[in-house]
Amino acid sequence: MARPAPDSAPLDPALDAMAGDARVLPLAPARRGAAARRFLVRNPTLGAGALCLLLMAAGAVGAGLLGTRDPQAMRPVTRLRTPSAEHWFGTDHYGRDVYSRTLYGGRISLVVGSAVAVISLTLGTGIGLVSGYFRRLDAVVMRIMDGVMAIPGILLALALMALVRASLQSVIVALVIPEIPRTVRLVRASVLSLRELVMVEGARAVGAGTPRILLRYILPALVAPLIVQGTYIGASAMLVEAYLSFLGVGTPPHIPSWGNIMAEGRAYVQLAFWIILFPGLFLAVTVLAINMIGDGLRDLLKVR
Amino acid sequence: MGVVALFVFALLRLTPGDPAAIIAGDYATPQDIARIRAALGLDRPLLVQIGIWLGQLLRGDLGTSIFSGLPVTTLIKQRLEPTVALTILAMLLAVITAVPLGVLAAWRQGSWVDRVVMGLAVSGFSMPVFWLGFLLVYLFSVWLGLLPVQGYTPLSAGFVPFLRHLALPALTLSLVFMALIARMTRASMMGVLGEDYIRTAFAKGLAPWSVLTRHALKSASLPIVTIIGVGFALLIGGAVVTESVFALPGIGRLSVDAILRRDYPVIQGVILVVSGVYVLLNLVVDLLYVLLDPRIRY
């Protein structure tokens, strides 16, 4: 390394501002490592959150490599065992290994979280852009959004799940719908102010079409707040998925997710607390990590 | 509210899946299904159905439960007390603890107090409500044996048993809300504490406590009150889950049971009533602005 890592030593403010964005430093690899470290020291929340999330994702993706067994294999002989060297997180009422189920369950929960975040951001942004730009459409769309927003999210997701056969896709849809209005409002509010900018007026004057103005001039200004919004949506989606499963209308039991592992364990809570403890801990840590990333990004990107 | 009513109706009727077939079960004959459909009025044209439903709504009639045969309004009234008690208790608990903590964190910004409070706040709304509930049950009821595990005693059976049964659910439910309010209080207070008049107040030697509450908190209260109104949605969602954990016979349980039994009139009714309360609460919040900020007039 070129020089000792400056842990918290105050540097030149101009350098500080540059180090805030690691990409602007055209440095040799060794110095880039130092820059990355400095970046993490300056944004501890973001760094810790990203590290935790990365660990969780690695556990979920590499579940097959981490000493797990078949998460669905039932062995009635070893039912409700306390955590031990053989079963790190104990076993459930069918003798299934809770450690394996928790790691595999992470896949579903992480997929649900990211899918809901991406889909609701995409749909919300699309609707928000169009509705913010066309006044007449705006009135109708916003009334509908107000209507959806007046219904508490979990209740709406519950009711939606009552209408369809429980599957992973239906859970994702039921979680996306309550999230859309908030994104729409965020995007619309920004569009309303951005469309009055001289830049947009200029673009129109040189003959840029509406789609071009929306996508090339207005959308880029929205990227930062949308990323932050996306992390919060993903975090809350993972929690609500667990709630739905817990109440018996979420992810079907043949797909282990953190939510339905806990749902199955609730009948045995006094006998085998570990069935609920470990998936819940994983879920809490993951959601915490995502929220920390969100907070970190918000401070870094100076959103609001 | 009209939009909500129409939306709820559209949601439940226009989605694929025939309620009559679901109610009749897997072994019903086509005749059975047709009979149920006729009894529910589902065989009439959609516009007529909407008309009938809105007409009933205006008369305060939410229809009749398919499962129990009782009017939905009666069912809701029966289940109202636990939910109202739970949410009010949780809200009080959250406001009483979170506002002072948020003020403290903003005042001692960057100190360890601030970091601990904000760390707790982020953790607070990262934890699954029911998981937290089970942890608390395990700690207070199973391990320490201090409080009852589950169940509910109405207020009429005495205040102390009532409170003992609600203590854990209310604590469970309030933690998320606490986190939300603490963060909002801190953010709002930090904006105000930078103002000149606060520095003046400190400079003329007023007690910090007086400056914080009398001068700063008063101007910072608008966003806090707003978040309390908006957070009600969160509270209701949490109540649905909490009631399930603690076996409280409230609105949340009613709606979950209705959903599991596909009891559409009850689902519609509960969503409408809850959304109505939510809208009304936010209206109250809007009106409170006038009291809190003399510059706002309606």
Contact flag B237-A270 (C-beta cutoff 8 Å): no
At residue A10, the pLDDT reads 39
**CB of B277 less than 8 A from some CB of A:** no
Record: contact B123-A158, CB cut-off 8 A = no
Which of A144, A158, A243 is facing B3, going by the closest CB pair? A144
Residue of B174, B285, B177 lying closest to B229 (CA atoms): B285
CA distance B233 to chain A (A): 5
pLDDT at A3: 42
B278 vs chain A: nearest CA distance in angstroms? 7
CA distance A130 to chain B (A): 21
pLDDT tens-digit profile of B234-265? 888 888 888 888 888 888 888 888 888 777 77
* Burial environment of residue B86 by CB neighbours within 10 A (0 to 12, 13 to 18, 19 or more): buried
- By Cβ distance, the residue of B142, B256, B279 closest to A247 is B256
Q: Give contacts of B262 with chain A, Cβ < 8 Å.
A: 162
Report which secondary-structure segment, H or E, holds B159.
helix B159-193
pLDDT at B25: 61
Percent of chain B having pLDDT more than 90? 1
Q: Give the residue on A whose Cα is nearest the Cα of B278.
A: A150
Q: What tokens were used for B68?
A: 């129990």
ipTM of the complex: 0.79
Q: At what angle do helices B129-136 and A219-246 cross, to 10 degrees?
A: 40
**Identity of the residue numbered A85:** A
Cβ separation A243–B3 shorter than 8 A: no
As a whole number, the mean pLDDT across chain B is 79
Alpha-carbon separation of residue A188 from A128, A133, A175, A180 (angstroms): 5, 8, 21, 12
Q: Classify burial at A2, counting beta carbons within 10 Å of its beta carbon; exposed 0-12, middle 13-18, buried 19 or more.
A: exposed
Predicted pLDDT of residue A9 = 39
Tokens of B113: 């107090």
| pLDDT tens for the 304 residues of chain A, in order | 344 444 443 344 444 444 444 444 445 555 667 777 777 777 777 777 788 888 887 777 766 666 666 766 666 666 666 676 666 666 766 667 777 778 888 888 888 899 999 999 999 999 988 888 888 888 888 888 887 887 888 888 888 887 777 788 888 888 898 889 889 988 888 888 888 888 888 888 888 888 888 888 888 888 888 988 898 899 889 888 888 888 888 778 778 888 888 887 777 766 667 778 888 888 888 888 888 888 888 888 877 6
| Angle, vertex CA B174, rays to CA B170 and CA B179, nearest 5 | 165
Nearest-by-CA chain B residue for A177 = B11
CB-based contact B3 A156, cutoff 8 Å: no
Q: Are B270 and B254 in contact (CB under 8 A)?
A: yes
Instruction: Among B87, B118, B130, B172, pick the best mutation site for testing chain A contact (most A Cβ within 10 A).
Output: B130
Contact between B275 and B281 under an 8 Å Cβ cutoff? The reply is no
User: Which pLDDT value is given to residue A57?
Assistant: 79
pLDDT tens for each residue of B34-65: 776 666 666 666 677 777 767 777 776 777 77
Q: Are A152 and B237 a contacting pair at CB < 8 A?
A: yes
* Structure confidence at residue B152 (pLDDT): 73
* Whole-number CA gyration radius for chain B: 24
Across B145-174, average pLDDT: 76
Determine the pLDDT at residue A19: 42
Residues of A in contact with B256 (CB under 8 A): 158, 247-249
pLDDT digits (tens, 9 = 90+) for B197-235: 888 888 887 877 777 877 788 888 888 888 888 888 888
Residues of B in contact with A147 (CB under 8 A): 3-4, 6-7
- Mark yes or no for CB contact B7/A144 under 8 Å: yes
> Please, are residues B60 and B73 in contact by the beta-carbon 8 Å criterion?
yes
In sequence order, the β-bridge partners of residue A91 are: A97
Q: For residue A136, what are the contacts with CB-CB under 8 A and spacing of at least 6?
A: none
Phi (first) and psi of residue B279, to 5 degrees: -60, -45
pLDDT for residue B2: 58
CB A160 within 8 A of CB A166: no
Nearest CA distance, B204 vs chain A (angstrom): 33
A160/B6 Cβ within 8 A: no
Using CB atoms and an 8 Å cut-off, which of residues 223-252 of chain B contact chain A? Answer: 232-234, 236-238, 240-241, 244-245
Residue A269 to residue B123, Cβ atoms within 8 A: no
Structure tokens of B155?
Answer: 């207020």
- Which ranges constitute the DSSP H helices of chain A? 13-19, 29-42, 44-61, 98-133, 135-149, 153-163, 168-194, 198-205, 210-212, 219-246, 258-265, 274-301
- Phi/psi for A154 (5° steps) reads -65, -40
